[in-house]
Amino acid sequence: MAITSLDAYIAAAKQKLRWVKTGARTTVAAGWFSLYDVAGSPGNATLNVGNTANGLVPVDTNTGFNTINAFGGGNTGYLTIVDFASSVASRLRIVDRLFHAGAYSFNANTTLASQPSYSSRIPGGDYSGTEIWIEAVTTFTGNLSIAVTYTNQDGTAARTTGTVALGLAPTVGRMVQLPLQAGDTGVQKIERVVATVSTVGTFNVLVLRPLWEGGRVRSVNDGDVHGLDKTGMPQVFEDSALQVMLAADSTSSGIPELLIEIANG
């Protein structure tokens, strides 16, 4: 089944997920940050993934994610409404954290093996739109350079981001997207991670599926509600690991809060 009309949405089962962080992280203006390890609801997780050899596929029942109720038999789930606000001007986005591996050291050179598949969280088997990001676990010194080899959306192996010189020393929680090789639109698997130049620091490598991009908090204690017309009702799954990313206008993440509606029908 699927929700294909307004009447079907009105009749659909719905769940409200509250996401709020009660602690603030030091940020860099306009830089994306993870709040995965910051206190709040859901509870804070450990940034260090704890697996560099294979990586892991996080699910909703892991610490750090909202638990999603089981859908009705044969139903499809959707992100339908996002009610959001923050104590600081910022931009928010929601992603499904499909895969993570780490924490890798500043001089890592690791080839992964036996990586778990996240294909069950790819709508229609189309990996297009999935992204590679790094997430700083500890603070770096020196300007980190990194190269990630991956299998692309069509199953072609040995694709590469190239060696990306970030031009910065990431602080804890800093997130940076890595560009895919020309012509690629998504990622099926992370194959190898190589880091150079820095002398201190550790990081995770993530594969993310964007769900909602439109959360602009324009001023202090501002917010908005995005309904079906703005969320676009992206598909989510019973085990989706929903992560909120934040880019503050200033040097503090503030206190962001979201009320997320998941409908299934």
Assigned domain for 222 exists: yes
Residue 72 confidence (pLDDT): 87
**Residue 194 domain-assigned (yes or no):** yes
Q: What confidence tens digit (pLDDT) does each residue in 230-253 have?
A: 999 999 999 999 999 999 999 999
- Specify if 1 maps to a domain: no
DSSP 8-state class, residue 5: S
The DSSP secondary-structure symbol of 71 reads: P
pLDDT at 1: 78
**How confident is the model at residue 214, as a pLDDT?**
79
Q: pLDDT per residue over 67-109, tens digit each?
A: 999 998 899 999 999 999 999 999 999 999 999 999 999 999 9
209-229 residue pLDDT tens: 999 997 899 999 999 999 999
Does position 9 have pLDDT exceeding 90, yes or no? Answer: yes
> What's the pTM?
0.96
**Residue tagged 């109720």 (tokens):** 69
Pairing of strands 175-178, 235-236: unpaired
* pLDDT tens digits, 98-148: 999 999 999 999 999 999 999 999 999 999 999 999 999 999 999 999 999
Whether 108 is covered by a domain: the verdict is yes
Residue 215: its pLDDT value, please? Answer: 87
- The number of distinct structural domains making up the chain is 1
Range of the domain at 182: 6-264
**245: in domain:** yes
Q: Which residues contact 17 (CB under 8 A, 6 or more apart)?
A: 66, 68, 242, 259, 260, 261, 262
Tens-place pLDDT, residues 20-57: 999 999 999 999 999 999 999 999 999 999 999 999 99
Note the pLDDT of residue 138.
97
Report the DSSP beta bridge partners of residue 264.
13, 77
